């Protein structure tokens, strides 16, 4: 698999095409900041935008897409259901609310943001998933998935579903590689997608990535992002700076040597910069 263009796509289990590379807008300030970041990304050739009810900027994403002049059909839009909206009826209402804020008739991907609820025979996200399937079958979400689900969450969910999650979006970067989760998702045709792929900026401080950047004429962030693409992991780095949005996407003119991929693989230390899904206080 060779990914050579910003618009190259991964094929999900239902045949929907998800761009390998997109813009995340977590902590992009609602209002002009978030809107302008999306406009800049679309101008730079991005065709995937990732938002969430939690972020408070769905309306800005929708407005930016309309401003951009890029046809809606060419843009892959992801949003997510927040933790206070679990359960069948509440999930359906939350999805309607997200569509209203986006001012769209559909989204391309709708995710359960976190696996809330204590472990039991029927955790609340199983009920929520029934709503996700109803949304999917209505055609208002072209694909559905989960976020921050670990292997045991997926093992609880999968036996109950009629439509399996197509994506699992998790924290993933050189210091947190979750090999067991990678293998599980591959085995079940669930596309893994990385949030915090540049370690909230700390990739620039990882000496091994810096040295590899010198070898390839890139910076450490670009090396980290290319490594994920070479491993078949969708990535959505966040930035609100025009030049950084462009630079983050400047990763399609090189590939890492197998030995360099192995070197980055060896950096895994199980270190999170975001919440642990098993310990997150909902």
35's tokens? 């809107």
In a domain, 114, yes or no: yes
pLDDT given for residue 122 in this prediction: 58
What is the pTM for the complete model shown?
A: 0.96
Q: How far apart are CA 246 and CA 216, in angstroms?
A: 18
pLDDT given for residue 119 in this prediction: 47
Q: How far apart are CA 277 and CA 148, in angstroms?
A: 6
What is the domain-level CATH number for residue 129?
3.20.20.100
The SS3 assignment for 18 reads: strand
In a domain, 48, yes or no: yes
In a domain, 281, yes or no: no
Number of domains in the chain: 1
pLDDT given for residue 66 in this prediction: 98
Answer yes or no: is pLDDT of 18 > 60: yes
Average pLDDT on 181-192 reads 98
Average pLDDT on 246-271 reads 97
Answer yes or no: is pLDDT of 118 > 80: no
In a domain, 118, yes or no: yes
Average pLDDT on 73-82 reads 98
In a domain, 276, yes or no: no
Q: Tell me the pairing of strands 17-19 and 167-171.
A: unpaired
Q: Give the orientation angle of helix 58-68 with respect to helix 88-102, to 10 degrees.
A: 40
In a domain, 279, yes or no: no
Concatenated DSSP letters of 175-193: TB--HHHHHHHHHTT-EEE
pLDDT given for residue 31 in this prediction: 96
- Please give the C-alpha separations between residue 99 and each of 32, 94, 109, 242, in angstroms, as whole numbers: 20, 9, 12, 27
pLDDT given for residue 98 in this prediction: 98
Average pLDDT on 100-109 reads 98
In a domain, 74, yes or no: yes
Give the domain extent around 160: 9-265
- Residues with a catalytic annotation lie at 55
In DSSP terms, 23 is beta-bridged to 49
pLDDT given for residue 57 in this prediction: 97
pLDDT given for residue 9 in this prediction: 98
Select from 46, 25, 45 the least CA-distant residue to 35: 25
pLDDT given for residue 280 in this prediction: 67
pLDDT digits (tens, 9 = 90+) for 122-174: 567 778 999 999 999 999 999 999 999 999 999 989 999 999 999 999 999 99
- The better pLDDT of the pair 279, 113 is held by 113
In a domain, 255, yes or no: yes
pLDDT digits (tens, 9 = 90+) for 205-243: 999 999 999 999 999 999 999 999 999 999 999 999 999
């Amino acid at each position: 698999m060779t990914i050579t263009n910003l618009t190259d796509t991964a094929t999900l289990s239902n045949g929907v095409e998800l761009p390998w590379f997109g813009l995340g807008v977590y902590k992009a300030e609602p209002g002009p900041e978030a809107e302008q970041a999306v406009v800049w990304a679309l101008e730079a050739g991005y065709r995937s935008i990732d938002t969430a009810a939690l972020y408070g900027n769905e309306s800005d994403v929708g407005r930016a897409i309309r401003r951009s002049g890029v046809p809606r059909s060419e843009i892959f839009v992801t949003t997510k259901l927040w933790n206070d909206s679990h359960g069948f009826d509440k999930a359906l209402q939350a999805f309607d609310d997200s569509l209203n804020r986006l001012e769209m008739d559909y989204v391309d991907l709708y995710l359960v943001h976190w696996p809330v609820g204590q472990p039991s025979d029927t955790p609340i996200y199983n009920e929520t998933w029934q709503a996700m399937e109803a949304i999917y079958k209505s055609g208002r979400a072209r694909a559905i998935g989960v976020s921050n689900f670990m292997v045991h969450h997926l093992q609880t969910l999968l036996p109950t579903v009629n439509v399996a999650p197509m994506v699992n979006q998790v924290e993933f970067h050189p210091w947190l590689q979750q090999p067991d989760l990678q293998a599980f998702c591959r085995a079940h045709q669930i596309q893994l997608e990385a949030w915090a792929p540049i370690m909230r900026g700390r990739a620039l401080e990882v000496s091994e990535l810096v040295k590899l950047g010198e070898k390839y004429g890139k910076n450490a962030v670009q090396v980290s992002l290319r490594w994920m693409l070479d491993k078949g992991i969708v990535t959505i780095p966040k930035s609100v700076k025009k030049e950084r949005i462009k630079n983050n996407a400047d990763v399609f003119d090189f590939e890492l040597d197998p030995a360099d991929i192995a070197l980055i693989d060896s950096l895994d230390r199980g270190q999170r910069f975001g919440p642990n899904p098993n310990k997150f206080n909902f």
